Structure formats: C-alpha cells, structure tokens
Amino acid sequence: MKNWIRTSVAAAAVATAFTATTAWAGKDLDAIKARGQLICGVGPSSAGFYLLGGDGKWSGIDVDVCRAIAAAILGDSEKVKYVPASAQQRFQQVQSGEVDILSRTTTWTLTRDTALGLDFGHITYYDGQGFMVPKKLGVKSAKELGGATVCVQPGTTTELNLADYFRANNMQFKSVVIENRDEVEQAFYSGRCDVYTNDASGLASSRTTRAPKPDDYVILPELISKEPLAPAFRHGDNQFGDIVRWAVYAMLEAEEYGITAANVDKMKAENTNPVIKRILGTTPGMGKALGLDDDWAYRIIKQVGNYGESFERNMGDKSALKLPRGLNRLWTQGGLQYAPPIR
C-alpha cells in the first residue's frame, strides 16, 4: 500500500513539474541562441531534399535551408541538430516544440498555415504531384491510366489528389496504400502496382536511388497538383520568421547577383555594386534590422552557397538526380524564384 501512495505522490510531483515547463514557450529565437543549436525536422532520407550520407552528414536543399538559418543566427552552418520527422507526426513535432523548423518537403496549404498553428517561409521548391510508370506499359499520358493499380502513401495530400484526379477524369483505379515509403516503393518496383504517385521530385529521387534499373521507368508529363514546398515553423515568433524567410531570400539574391561560395570573399573585398555591398554587409545596417550582425548573408553564402549552387549540388547536374530546374529557375530566367530586394 505504501508503494501505491509513494507512486501516486511521485506521479503528482511529476505532473506539477510538467506544468511548470510550459512557461518557456515564447521566444523561439532566444531558445535557439541559448541552446546554440537549431533543431531541424527532416524526413527519412529522400535524395535531393534530405539524405543521410554514409559519413553521417545530411545533405539536400531542405537541409541547406536549415544550414543557412544556423549560419545566419549562430554563425556556423554545422550547428544544426537533425531530427527525423515522419509524414504523420511532423506537424505535432513543430507544434510541441520538438523541432524549431520543419524543412521537409512540406506543402504549404491554407489549413496548415492557419488551423495547425504554423507559419511558412519562402517556397524553396515548386513541385507538383506526378505519376511514374514502367516504360514497358507504353503509357504516354496520365489520361490513359484508367483501370490501373496505383501505389500511394497514406496520410498525405497525395492520396486525396489522386482520388480527385481520377474522379475528375471519370477513370477507375485500385489503390495499394502502404504506410512506409520504402515498402510502398518496393511494392511498385516489384510490379504490385502499375503506377506510383508522389511529388514529381520525389518520383525522380526514388527512380534514381531506389529503382533497380532507372531507365525502365518514366515520369508522365502531367502534374496534377501544385505542391509549393516551404519550411514550416511555429506561429508566434515573428523575428525568427523573418530570419527564416530572409535566409532563403539571401540565397536567391546571391544567385541573382552572381555571388557564389567561391567568389564571396573577393566580392566582399572588391565589389562596388551597392546591392552586393548591402547583401554582404560591407554597407552596414541590414543585419541589425533582422536582429543579426551584418555578416549574416556573407556567412550563408560562404558556408552554404547561393540557391543555384545548392540546387545544382543536390538536385541538378552535379547530383545523381539530374533534375531540370523548371519552375525553380530565377525569375530572370523564366522561373518563379523571386526574392524581395535586400535594402
């Protein structure tokens, strides 16, 4: 009996302790600075976005966003702790404070922006849902997919878009729904399904890294949805939100003005273009407005590189994926990536 009482008392004590810890939720930025580390939620490896290398280091454009933010706030792009966030629990992980930022191919939607208590940064990748089929089926368009068996992961917008698209086009399909991404892709590559649907970039990444013979599969031209992928963080700390946005803008601006990781030192020392001088902090003032020092953007470019470099390294020609930039080209080259001026 004594044990019971003791347990109960202990439970009550722990409960009180729990309540006490709620007080901290306030300034995310201060918490990050105090911790000296940015906690970044990323998914299970998906080449191009977040990939855990054999050396235990993460790479990918979503990872680069976290590194850029860490470089801006903490001065070192390596001061990031990566926490695995599953498709299902990722929002709870942000809401509960388990991660500071979710940089994990998350589609920006109205519900998520509002009802889930999140804010979104700048769109780091313009994506859309696509279909991948084995070449030998001879399918040329998604409109020919009536009656097909489709492999899809549950718990995402993907599953709903899929049903919507087939209904809109009066086609039937059979779904094979498997929770685990590895399993669902294995099912597709072993021929359990005719079609695999996911974000087009995810399909390309899967084809390159998982398909037994990548050349045997084609991604159909239709994209059936808009998937603007952006970093997500808790609603409430506006200053942190500003830094998340401007860290990405700095990478875009750097590309637009030709600043790269290789030439940034030279630019900083020699360049006289007033825009570049503002970006790199030779003309002071910009960092202070963000609550950072003036070298913030310089550090991002020096340690992470500009947006174009990040893309080429992780998804473009310098990577295994060899994805075209498509919509993610700068606005000056006919794409959608457009950063507000740093001034």
Partner 1 sequence: MALMTAATATAPRVPPWNDPVLRGWAFQVLVVGLFGLLVLFLVQNTLDNLERQKIASGFDFMDKEAGFEIGDTIIEYSAASSYGRAILVGIVNTLRVAVLGIVLATILGALVGIGRLSSNWLLAKICEVYVEAFRNVPLLLWLLLIAKFIRESLPGPRAVADKGLFDAIFLTNRGLYVPVPLDHPAWAWMGLAALVAIGIGWAVRRWARARQDATGQQFPVFLTFAGLIVGLPFVVWLLGGAPVGLSVPKLAGFNFAGGSVLQPEFVALLVGLTLYTSAFVAEIVRSGILAVHRGQTEAAMAIGLSRGQVMRLVLLPQALRVIVPPMTSQYLNITKNSSLAIAIGYPDLVASINVTINQTGQAIEGILIIMVAYLSVSLSISLFMNWYNKRIALVER
Partner 2 sequence: MTDIASGAAPATRTSRPPPRGEAGAIGWLRKNLFGGVGDGLTTIVLLALLVWGLWGFVEWAVVNANFSAKSGPECTANSPGGACWAFVRDKYRLIFFGTFPFEQHWRPLFACIALFAMLIASCDRRFWNWRLAVIWLAGSGVALTLMFGGVFGLSFVETSSWGGLPVTLILATYGLAFAFPLGILAALGRRSKLPLIKSLCVGYIELIRGVPLISLLIMASVMLPLFLPSGFTIDKFLRALVAVVLFAGAYIAEIVRGGLQAIPKGQYEAADALGLGYARKTFFIVLPQALQVVIPPLVNTFVGFFKDTSLVLIIGIFDLLNAGEQAIVDRNWSGFANEIHVFLAMVYFVMCFAMSRYSKYLERELNKGVRR
- Can you give the binding site for partner 2, defined by CB under 8 A? 1-4, 18-19, 21-22, 24-25, 44, 52, 54, 56, 83-84, 86, 88-89, 92-93, 95-98, 179-180, 182-183, 185-186, 189, 209-212
Q: Report CA torsion sign: 139, 142, 145, 151.
A: positive
Write down the least CB distance from residue 83 to partner 2, Å: 6
Site string for partner 1, 169-198 (x = CB under 8 A): ----xxxxxxxx--xx-xx--xxx-x----
Quick one: how many helices (H) and strands (E) in the chain? 14, 14
DSSP of 43-79, one letter per residue? Answer: -S-BTTTBEE-TTS-EESHHHHHHHHHHHHHHS-TT-
Select the binding partner of residue 148 from partner 2, partner 1, none (C-beta < 5 to 8 A, by kind): partner 1
Select the binding partner of residue 78 from partner 1, partner 2, none (C-beta < 5 to 8 A, by kind): none
Calculate the CA 252 to chain-centre distance: 16
126: part of which helix (H) or strand (E)?
strand 125-127
Nearer to partner 1, 172 or 238 (CB): 172
312: part of which helix (H) or strand (E)?
helix 307-314
Select the binding partner of residue 170 from partner 1, partner 2, none (C-beta < 5 to 8 A, by kind): none
Write down the least CB distance from residue 257 to partner 2, Å: 39
Q: Report CA torsion sign: 36, 281, 122, 128.
A: negative
Calculate the CA 91 to chain-centre distance: 13
Which residues are at the interface with partner 1 (CB under 8 A)? 1, 4-5, 8, 11-12, 15, 19, 88, 95, 114-117, 137, 145-149, 154-156, 159-160, 162-164, 166-167, 173-180, 183-184, 186-187, 190-192, 194
